Chains A and B, each alone.
Chain A
Amino acid sequence: MTPRCAAALAAALVLGACKDPAIPGRLGVNPFADTVIIAADTTVTLFHWPATRLPVRFWADPRSNMRFLVERAVAVWQYQFLYGELRGVVVSDSTAADILVRWRDSVPPDVPPDTIPAPNSCGGITTFDYDSSGLALVGPVHVSLTVLTGGSPASPGQLQDCMRRVSIHELGHALGLLRHSQFDGDIMFGSPIANYPSVYDRRTVETLYHAQPTVQPPPP
């Protein structure tokens, strides 16, 4: 191989690898911002945990298998991100947590899940404590999971299956997905029947974490 040949090969090597790939289009992002009315003004509420506050600290009610449910839900949401936008950790001190997850009323037994669906057997609620301006949180986000008694009776296994879905759904709210999806294939559907976030849930949370928030997180 002569120097000229080597130089030609080297040039081909560089030129052949210079083209950037096209950035994929991401269609199907669900609405994630909320609107609140504060003193007759409508304010867009857009919240996510900023990169400077990672890892987000979760505290789980020590009763039954709440810690497992929270760790699982955190891992599921973390998995949705390609570029490390979210990291979460479960802490044992509730005063050092950003998100508190509790049982609301009764505590379901820790048994293997039964995947035969039992509609409306469990539910959850996520609440944010805003300051008077509505543009900053003043304390940790509260999530509670509850056993519903109004629907068809559910076995302990069916309850656990329901809690797996609802814990992911409620932690989705706590991470900033403030609105419900209109599609029943999404985990953020009002009464979730999907077991995991859909591609649309993923695109929605990914977009949220690159959007400019209007609400500041609570003090650390």
Chain B
Amino acid sequence: MKSVRRLGGWAARATALVTLCLTVYPPNRLTAQVSFHVAAGVRHSSALVHDSVVTGFDLRPTLAPALLVSVRDLLRPGWSTDVTLDVAPSGLRRQETGGSFDVGSITAVALTVGLQRHFGAGVSARLGVGGLRYAASQTGVFREGSGGIIPLGTIAATYALPLTFARRRQLEIEARYDVHQFITPALRTEGFRSGRPVHRMAILLQIGWGGGTTP
């Protein structure tokens, strides 16, 4: 059976909105306070489901690429706010005693708003909230749909590299953690009453345009 990877309508609309914003408001026309950032890296996720049928096993996304685009606005010196679109396609595996088996693929799409505090020496911290949606073929735990948009909380620590070319490109290294509760209609049908906390950790390299220098 063919596995279909697709973005849901919500994710497609969010992507279109960001694209539209960047088209009519490109980085070279941004005011001195607004900057545009793109980040790429890898993401590790904890298990989406832990279940036991005869023996225990986990359903877990594989180590996956992560791509983030964000628009950041300086609120006042030392503080900025941002809107970030985060896309992470990954494989899905069932891990049990005796092996790990391919179960298909998923794409996690998250949209968050964040508040960032710049501490000086290139170090900053970000706290964000938003929503996440999984896009997957309608099989297995997604056979009755993904369950819609899931609330998501995120924290991140960023370090701007203290090098001339890095400053010019607003090159930053970011460690990003987020958490959400995973449950789908099929899991509810199976008898699960609440979602499982899913912890995700990403290491990202970020580049930016506009906004002048980092405060």
Q: What's the Cα separation between A85 and B139 when bound, in Å?
A: 11
> Chain B nearest CB: distance from A7 CB in Å?
9
Q: Tell which of A16-24, A108-116, A124-132, A139-147 binds the partner.
A: A16-24
In the assembled complex, which residues on chain A have CB atoms less than 8 Å from the CB atom of B53?
Answer: 26, 206-207, 210
Overall SS of chain A's interface = loop
| Other-chain contact of B186, A6, A82, A211 (Cβ < 8 Å) | A82
> Chain B nearest CB: distance from A186 CB in Å?
18
Measured CB to CB, the nearest residue on chain A to B52 is A23
**Are A26 and B127 CB-contacts (below 8 A) given A17-B181, A83-B57, A87-B1?**
no
Q: Are A210 and B127 in contact (CB under 8 A)?
A: no
In the assembled complex, which residues on chain B have CB atoms less than 8 Å from the CB atom of A211?
Answer: 54
The reply on A103 being an interface residue by CB < 8 A is: no
> Chain A nearest CB: distance from B112 CB in Å?
12
The reply on A79 being an interface residue by CB < 8 A is: yes
Q: Are B179 and A13 in contact (CB under 8 A)?
A: yes
Q: Are A79 and B143 in contact (CB under 8 A)?
A: yes
| Other-chain contact of B140, A14, A17, A82 (Cβ < 8 Å) | A82
Q: How large is the interface on B (under 10, 10 to 19, 20 to 34, 35 or more residues)?
A: 35 or more
In the assembled complex, which residues on chain B have CB atoms less than 8 Å from the CB atom of A18?
Answer: 197
Q: Are A82 and B101 in contact (CB under 8 A)?
A: no
Q: Are A51 and B101 in contact (CB under 8 A)?
A: yes
Q: Are A13 and B153 in contact (CB under 8 A)?
A: yes
Contact with A along B183-209 (1 / 0, CB 8 A): 100110011111111000000000000
| Other-chain contact of A83, B51, B115, B119, B194 (Cβ < 8 Å) | B51
**Contact surface of A with B, Cβ cutoff 8 Å:** 1, 3, 6, 9-10, 13-14, 17-26, 51-52, 54-55, 75, 78-79, 81-85, 87-89, 206-207, 210-211
Given contacts A83-B141, A210-B55, 17 further A-B contacts (CB under 8 A): A3-B125, A6-B117, A13-B153, A19-B197, A20-B50, A21-B183, A21-B192, A21-B193, A24-B192, A52-B99, A82-B51, A82-B141, A82-B187, A84-B92, A84-B94, A210-B54, A210-B57
